[in-house]
């Protein structure tokens, strides 16, 4: 067994109770997942930071990928070549380099990844990952839902089924044929969820663990083909769930105000998810319709609506599946779930043909996991030199041979060990400084109940060490200012590196006064930082990590300039009706003619501007997605048929930069977003050096490079539906802003 420093280590099982309660689970655990992050997305970084912190994902298991902005477009799709180039190949390279091949059982994607891969037929990103980037030779197996997952536990209509087990048990039997299950933590694009909704889902998933919830699993039957294809599944699974002392109900009534929802399966094209009832943490809900994960299409209820309603997980297809039940979760999802398996394991054991199915939510939640405790003791005080002794005890006490033990040192999994409760080893096999050991006990059962804990301790055999002085642990830092790291070191290192998770961000000579890191490199939320000293003999000595919190960055910059408000009565309007309301608000209704877009110039404002803002509201009930609305800023108007715009574009559910040429709309830069009627959006445009940057609700959305400074009029535009505009305002250039 090799450590990161390349030396041999005796078998270890090292534990202590210093970190509080151990993590207790059934089935898949965080050290067995690879967390993939889009480093070009502030949202992806933030969501990943929270998931990694809450689930204690080892830093070695976190992979940062450099994805193009295409993933942010409404369709959120990649070609097979792009999936291979930007995701599969670089991630597999990291897995190989970090020697994680035999450890990883599943991939977890943060937000701002593509959801669909344009193979023939199309598949989901989770589906192609599951297939290990290799489609079956006969594509009809996917199209017709005939591909049989080796993880599927049944039953089929003929009743044949297997009990099902944890992923690790399947890998033991399948070996090289083991697929690669995957799940997305969330989707924040077109008709998606906000970052806060995704973070709430992660919190719900963790809160549900081992809670043995008192909620109810609901199955809704019906005559709709979407329901009929699965009606046969419910009676048998109902008995299985009730035998586990979990409440369940089969009904033909629409779900309205249901109490304590722990699960809901049905088959309908549209569902008022906001009226379904109270979803408990750990709930899974889905409705088996064709376009639930084709988010850019303005039809049918989306799986993200279940997340918004409070569900912790959902599933839907990324292309027309037809009424093929094998592409949707079998009702026996809940048979596996109530036995203690995680959500992701329950999904894949219940999906016969998962290639076109997108799985969304908190993958590691396990509401019915068996409670199991661990007492962890270290007999020597830190820093340790020479021999060290550690003790482990399980609670309740288990008979010998009931558990296997595995451990990882500084994130690298070591060989399996036999049960023991006392262990001694020579710390000279480790580098000086901070070291971290994670130990896991596995029950020798089909559903692998586990308990896990980590030990961080200092070693001092060579008089070397480094301490992170600032920022202080638990410090909260703004997201728009550099983070300065300072340190003190002993033993004369020549270089100091800054590490975030398992990646080096910067380095400087050891005698430097510090290193500055921009928060965008770290992401918002809880962040794990270390400094590492490099010595002449290549020993790398790490500091104790500090957990700090970074506030959200990518925010709207403040302004000290005076705003000019549009408050006058004079307006030039191309069509439709512009009604001025109280306090400078405007309601703009498009014309009833064939003209699809109307615009208005209020008070003939200056053609040159540096900043413009307004609050936009689309009338509605607050739960419906935008469908065909167009509303926002018009700028650089040359004549009534030639101008540029930034607007809410309802059909694909996107914010759009574009231009009208000869009266025709051309969309140039689009960013998918959740756009609900009845909600307001604060929009600001900033112009600088021929680039217009759009901010919505304080968050940077997109940039658009222009060939020249906008010189035409600024105004409002609207199409298809009435929109309300409030606080319409702008700023003009100062002398310092003026361009030659």
Token reading at 166: 């944890």
Question: Hunting for tokens 């690790």 — which residue is that?
Answer: 168
The answer to whether the CB of 371 falls within 8 A of the CB of 143 is no
C-alpha to C-alpha distances, 16 to 266, 405, 421, 669, nearest whole angstrom: 46, 15, 12, 53
Grouping H, G, I as helix, E, B as strand and the rest as coil, residue 434 is strand
CA-wise closest residue to 633 among 580, 699, 712: 712
Q: What is the pLDDT of residue 411?
A: 65
- Element housing 45 (H / E): helix 42-55
d(CA 496, CA 510): 5
Grouping H, G, I as helix, E, B as strand and the rest as coil, residue 35 is strand
First to last CA, the chain: 66
d(CA 664, CA 719): 13
Could you state, in chain order, the average pLDDT of each consecutive group of 10 residues for the chain (740 residues)?
A: 30 27 60 96 98 95 97 98 98 96 96 98 98 96 96 91 92 94 98 98 97 96 94 95 96 95 97 96 97 97 98 98 96 97 98 98 94 74 86 67 71 58 77 87 81 85 97 94 96 97 96 95 97 97 97 81 75 88 86 78 80 93 88 93 96 97 94 95 95 94 93 92 93 64
Domains of the chain: 31-209+288-361 (no CATH), 373-459 (2.60.40.10), 465-550 (2.60.40.10), 564-731 (2.60.120.560)
The answer to whether the CB of 681 falls within 8 A of the CB of 650 is no
Say which residues have a Cβ less than 8 Å from residue 538's Cβ, sequence separation at least 6: none
d(CA 553, CA 286): 34
d(CA 242, CA 219): 13
Looking at the chain, how many residues does it have?
740
18: region left, alpha or beta (phi > 0 left; psi from -120 to 50 alpha) = alpha
Q: What is the pLDDT of residue 20?
A: 31
Token reading at 390: 């550690």
Peptide bond into 399 cis (omega under 30): no
Q: What backbone phi and psi angles, to 5 degrees, belong to 291? A: -115, 30
Question: Hunting for tokens 């329901």 — which residue is that?
Answer: 227
> Is the Cα dihedral 235, 240, 243, 249 positive or negative?
negative
Question: Hunting for tokens 């995701």 — which residue is that?
Answer: 87
C-alpha to C-alpha distances, 597 to 298, 364, 614, 642, nearest whole angstrom: 19, 47, 19, 12
Q: Is the pTM of this model over 0.85?
A: yes
Listing DSSP states for 642-683 in one string gives EEEEEEEETTTTEEEEEEEETTEEEEEEEEE---BTT-EEEE
The answer to whether the CB of 364 falls within 8 A of the CB of 343 is yes
Listing DSSP states for 269-296 in one string gives S---GGGSEEEEEEEEEE---TTTT-TT
Q: What is the pLDDT of residue 595?
A: 62
Listing DSSP states for 525-576 in one string gives EEEEEEEEEE-TT--EEEPPPEEEEEPP-SBPPP--SPPEE---S-EEESSS
Q: What is the pLDDT of residue 13?
A: 25
Chain-centroid distance of CA 274 in Å reads: 22
Burial 178-208 (b: 16+ CB within 10 A, else e): bbbbbbbbbbbbbbbbbbebbbbbbebbbbb
């Amino acid at each position: 067994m090799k450590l990161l420093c390349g030396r041999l280590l005796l078998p270890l099982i090292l534990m202590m109770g210093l970190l509080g309660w151990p993590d207790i689970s059934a089935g898949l655990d965080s050290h067995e997942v690879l967390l993939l992050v889009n480093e070009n997305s502030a949202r992806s970084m933030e969501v990943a930071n929270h998931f990694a912190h809450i689930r204690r994902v080892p830093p070695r298991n976190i992979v940062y990928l450099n994805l193009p902005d295409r993933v942010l477009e409404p369709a959120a799709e990649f070609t097979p070549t792009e999936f291979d180039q930007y995701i599969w190949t670089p991630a597999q390279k990291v897995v190989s380099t970090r020697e994680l091949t035999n450890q990883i059982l599943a991939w977890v994607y943060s937000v701002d990844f593509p959801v669909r891969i344009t193979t023939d037929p199309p598949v989901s990103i989770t589906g192609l990952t599951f297939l290990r980037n290799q489609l079956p030779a006969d594509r009809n197996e996917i199209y017709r839902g005939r591909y049989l997952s080796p993880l599927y536990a049944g039953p089929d209509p003929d009743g044949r089924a297997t009990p099902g087990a944890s992923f690790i048990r399947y890998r033991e039997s399948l070996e090289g044929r083991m697929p690669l299950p995957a799940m997305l933590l969330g989707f924040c694009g077109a008709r998606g969820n906000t970052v806060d909704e995704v973070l709430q889902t992660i919190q719900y998933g963790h809160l549900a663990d081992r809670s043995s919830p008192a909620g109810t699993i609901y199955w809704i039957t019906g005559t709709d083909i979407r329901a009929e294809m699965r009606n046969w599944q419910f009676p048998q699974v109902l008995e299985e769930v009730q035998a586990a002392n979990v409440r369940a109900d089969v009904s033909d009534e629409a779900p309205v105000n249901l109490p304590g929802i722990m699960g809901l399966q049905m088959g309908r094209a549209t569902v008022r998810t906001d009226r379904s009832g109270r979803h408990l943490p750990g709930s899974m809900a889905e409705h088996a319709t064709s376009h639930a994960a084709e988010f850019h299409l303005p039809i049918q209820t989306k799986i993200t609506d279940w997340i918004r309603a409070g569900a912790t997980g959902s599933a839907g297809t990324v292309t027309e599946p037809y009424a093929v039940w094998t592409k949707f979760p079998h009702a026996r999802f809940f048979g596996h779930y109530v036995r203690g398996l995680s959500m992701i394991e329950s999904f894949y054991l219940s999906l016969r043909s998962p290639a076109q199915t997108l799985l969304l939510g908190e993958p590691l939640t396990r509401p019915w996991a068996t409670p199991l405790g661990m007492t962890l003791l270290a007999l020597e005080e830190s820093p340790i030199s020479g021999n060290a002794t550690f003790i482990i005890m399980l609670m309740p006490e288990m008979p010998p041979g009931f558990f296997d033990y595995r451990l990882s040192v500084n994130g690298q999994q070591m060989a399996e060990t036999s049960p023991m409760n006392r262990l001694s080893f020579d710390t000279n096999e480790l580098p000086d400084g901070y070291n971290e050991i994670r130990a896991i006990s596995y029950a020798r059962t089909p559903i692998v109940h586990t308990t896990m804990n980590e030990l961080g301790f200092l070693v001092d055999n060579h008089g070397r060490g480094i301490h992170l002085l600032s920022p202080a642990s638990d410090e909260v830092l703004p997201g728009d200012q550099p983070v300065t790291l300072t340190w003190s070191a002993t033993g004369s290192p020549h270089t100091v590196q800054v590490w975030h998770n398992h990646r080096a961000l910067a380095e400087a000579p050891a005698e430097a006064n510090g290193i500055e890191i921009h928060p965008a490199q770290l992401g918002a939320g809880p962040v794990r930082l270390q400094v590492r000293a490099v010595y002449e003999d290549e020993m790398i000595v790490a500091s104790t990590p500090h957990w700090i919190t970074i506030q959200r960055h990518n925010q709207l910059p403040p302004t000290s300039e005076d705003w000019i408000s549009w408050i006058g009565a004079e307006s030039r309007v191309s069509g439709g009706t512009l009604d001025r309301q109280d306090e400078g608000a405007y309601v703009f209704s498009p014309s009833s003619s064939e003209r699809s877009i109307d615009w208005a110039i209020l008070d003939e404002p200056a053609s040159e501007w540096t900043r413009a803002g307004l609050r936009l509201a689309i009338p509605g009930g607050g739960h419906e997605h935008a469908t065909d609305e167009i509303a926002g800023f018009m700028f650089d108007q040359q004549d009534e048929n030639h101008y540029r715009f930034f607007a809410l574009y309802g059909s694909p559910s996107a914010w759009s930069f574009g231009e009208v040429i000869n009266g025709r709309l051309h969309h140039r830069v689009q960013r998918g977003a959740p756009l609900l009627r009845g909600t307001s959006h604060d929009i600001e445009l900033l112009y600088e050096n021929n680039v217009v940057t759009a901010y919505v609700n304080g968050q940077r959305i997109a940039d658009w490079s222009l060939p020249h400074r906008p010189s035409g009029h600024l105004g409002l535009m609207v199409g298809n539906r009435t929109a309300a505009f409030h606080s319409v305002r702008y700023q003009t250039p100062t002398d310092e802003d003026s361009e030659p």
